[in-house]
Structure 1
Amino acid sequence: MTASPLRAGLLGLGAMGARHARVLGSLEGVELVGAADPFGNPRDCPRGVPLLPSLEALLELGIQMCIVAVPTEEHEKAGLRLADAGVPTLIEKPLAVNCAEGSNLVDAFEAAGVVAATGFVERFNPALMNLKQRLGEGEIGDVFQIATSRQGPLPDNVPNVGVVRDLASHDVDLTQWVMESDYQTVSAHTGARPGHGREDFVAAVGRLRNGVIVNHLVNWMTPQKERRVVVNGERGVLAADLLTADLALYAHGHATMWDELATFRGTTEGEIKRYALEKHEPLWAELCAFRDAVLGVPTEIASLAEGLKAIKLTDALLHAADTRSTVNLSE
């Protein structure tokens, strides 16, 4: 840590911005010096942190890092201004409303030589981090399939994008990150409740370049909240609950019958292991990693280029749904 804490600013005090304010207010090595939101509630700011009317007022405080948590359509303008000011920035997902704006942000921060990240907080979930590590160590052997389920009620702060951009963007990013492979093809079906202009649910399938089959089930129409990632391999299944940060291994068993019947019955149930994980808050871990990146400490953050890649993938899902086709991302 530096002798003096990094002066942090927060742009946007909506639902996600308020969470950032809470964590930044107590993050070691960081001082939240101001939050900017013309419609923000001062009660969402930690005690002693001023609520400011604009990004320009925030920049006047001499901030050394900034979190952008305003509506998606405001990301490009805010990000370009912060890149021009030389301020390291974490921009919440989705990075931008379209690929053109996302590319502008990537180019601006690269040209300025300024640290920047996309807010893919699921990468810092203890269960998912441990799952990725175990896959890398070959715990379940060759992987055949990965399935995600992200379901729940419509959030109180209704997003300005549909469920694909708002929620499925998490799943396409974490899938590529966990499997260390890009998508090769995707197809999808979407739907919306009557009178709702944007899609409320999506069922998607795809294939990664490494041959792994992918399934995504995403909606904001169910009363119970679910966030699960299940990876099926030759020696068993790793299942992560992202809400509780729990991880379990369901190993394949050994058949105790004659060979012909064992082949007919298929895989049998074997040992079940539930791992004891050190559970930290994912947002805290994400902001710690971003703080370290700003300080020049080697760490892993989700780059803006990865945020742009997620936009391209969600665009492909929406195009596949609109045209009822399979999109080949190699072309």
Structure 2
Amino acid sequence: MGTLEEGRPVRMGLIGLGSMGRHHARVIREVEGMELVAVADPVGDRHRVAGGLAVLPDVDALIGAGIDAAMVAVPTYLHEEVALALAAAGVHAMVEKPIAATAESGQRVADAFRSAGLVGAVGYVERCNPALLQMRRRIEAGELGVVYQITTSRQGPFPARIADVGVVKDLATHDIDLTSWIARSPYEVVAGQVTHRSGREHEDMVVATGRLANGIIVSHTVNWLSPLKVRQTVATGEKGAFVANTLTGDLTFVANGDVTTEWDQVSAFRGVSEGDSVRYAIARREPLRVEQENFRDALWGRPSDAVSMAEGVHTLRVVEAILTSASTGQTVHL
């Protein structure tokens, strides 16, 4: 089917009007070249985002509204069912992360869109965070030299929204995707530890470590039981470290210093000395808006940074490997 005619407004449908869907509804209406023409949610419109649109009951009714593309923001366990219906009807789609409940399920979704010749994307909004976009560009430009390590910390209180998955598939999936994207390399080896502290069926804390195919070592600390809200990604290399705070959109570079110290004890203790720090002035655009613009560009056949469904499947394979490692005590090779 290919892409849509460039410049022609994209007739967008949205299914799922919950905690993420309400934001997508607003952003789709704001993006030039997109028109929200239909919305669907079997449980109604509790956030009142439909405006003048009828709230349709299901994906079939959404397809019947004559849409070009859809944003899928239903609970994770429904992603495959909804996405496959869209693919069968020839409707392009972006599915909220993760692509599906399991990697096997996600692979079926990716295969369906590929074989139908449709644009299929996954909503990993952290890739659109201004601090991470800057970090990736600067690493690519050689400003860190050889990258040694990428670490992430994503911690905070329990989310008000109801989660049908544990913290690994809900939150750590962001860190796995963004780390692979920043490093431009897939994961090769992972190990994980999880805990269940909130009395829920699913894990609520994880610490995972791993190595990417290009040799960069990684670690992720993720939970939703912390009173401190932390969203930090640190890339360390031969020339220093980039520290991205994705809550504020700030990026700081701390250079390896070239000032030698004559105080031997401090020199031995500190190792590489700390050089100058720079916090970059960054234009802060709303990440969700950038994400929808990327999807629009992909639909129009323009160069686009939309996250492919194949990348979404790889991230889920890593997620499942972390959970396997946590349950077996073994390091998992992908």
Same fold? TM cut 0.5: yes
Other-structure match for 1:240:
244
| Aligned-pair CA distance for 1:94 | 1.0
Question: Where does residue 315 of structure 2 map in the other structure?
Answer: 310
Q: Is the 8 A contact 1:12 1:40 kept in 2?
A: no
Would you say 1:99 and 2:110 are equivalent positions?
Answer: no
Residue 23 of structure 1 aligns with which residue? 27
| Partner residue, 1:125 | 129
Cα deviation code 1:116-136 (max 9, x no counterpart): 101111111111011000101
The DSSP-based 3-state class of the residue aligned with 2:307 is: coil
Measure, in 1, the Cα distance between the counterparts of 2:331 and 2:44.
43
**Matching residue within 186, 190, 198 for 2:202:** 198
* Match status 1:268 vs 2:273: yes
TM-score (normalised: structure 1):
0.95
Task: Pick one of 33, 53, 58 that aligns with 1:54.
Answer: 58
Contact 2:31 2:293 in 1 (8 A): yes
1:247-286 equivalences in 2 (<5 Å): 247-258=251-262, 262=267, 265-286=270-291
Is 1:41 the counterpart of 2:45? The answer is yes
Measure, in 1, the Cα distance between the counterparts of 2:30 and 2:131: 24
Give 1:216's match in structure 2, choosing from 213, 216, 220: 220
Q: How many residues align?
A: 329
Shift of 1:284: 0.2
Distance across 1 between alignment mates of 2:269 and 2:41: 63
- Is there any run of 5+ residues in structure 1 with no aligned partner, and where? none
CA positional deviation for 1:268? 1.5
User: Aligned partners of 1:64 and 1:143: how far apart in 2?
Assistant: 41
The gaps in structure 2 that reach 5 residues or longer are none
- What residue in structure 2 maps to residue 230 of structure 1? 234
Shift of 1:171: 0.6
When residues 292 and 273 of structure 1 are mapped into structure 2, their CA distance, relative to the original with a 3 A threshold, is same
Task: Report runs of 4+ in structure 1 exceeding 6 Å deviation.
Answer: none
How much has 1:40 moved relative to structure 2?
2.5
Assess if the C-alpha contact under 8 Å between 1:254 and 1:268 holds in 2: yes
Structure 1 residue 50, shift from structure 2 partner: 2.5
Partner of 1:299: 304
Aligned residue type for 1:75: H
Say yes or no: does 1:82 pair with 2:82. Answer: no
Is it true that 1:140 corresponds to 2:178 in the alignment?
Answer: no
Counting aligned pairs with the same residue, the percent is 47
In structure 1, the residue matched to 2:190 is 186
1:191 Cα deviation from its structure 2 partner:
0.1
CA 1:298–1:154: 2 relative to 1, 3 Å:
same
Amino acid at match of 1:143: V
User: In 2, Cα distance between the equivalents of 1:298 and 1:253?
Assistant: 39
Deviation at 1:184, TM superposition (A): 1.8
**Map of 2:116 onto structure 1:** 112
Q: Check 1:44–1:27 CA distance in 2 against 1; reply closer, same or farther (3 A cut).
A: farther
Give the 3-state SS of the residue equivalent to 1:40 in structure 2.
coil
- SS state at 2:20 partner: helix
1:224-270 Cα shifts (integer Å, max 9, x gaps): 32111001111111000111111000111123335966455411221
Moved more, 111-120 or 25-34: 25-34
Q: 1:166-204 CA deviation, whole Å, 9 max, x = no partner?
A: 111111111110001121211111001152211000011
Find the aligned partners of 1:4 and 1:232 in 2 and give their Cα distance.
44
Q: Which of 60, 67, 76 pairs up with 1:63?
A: 67
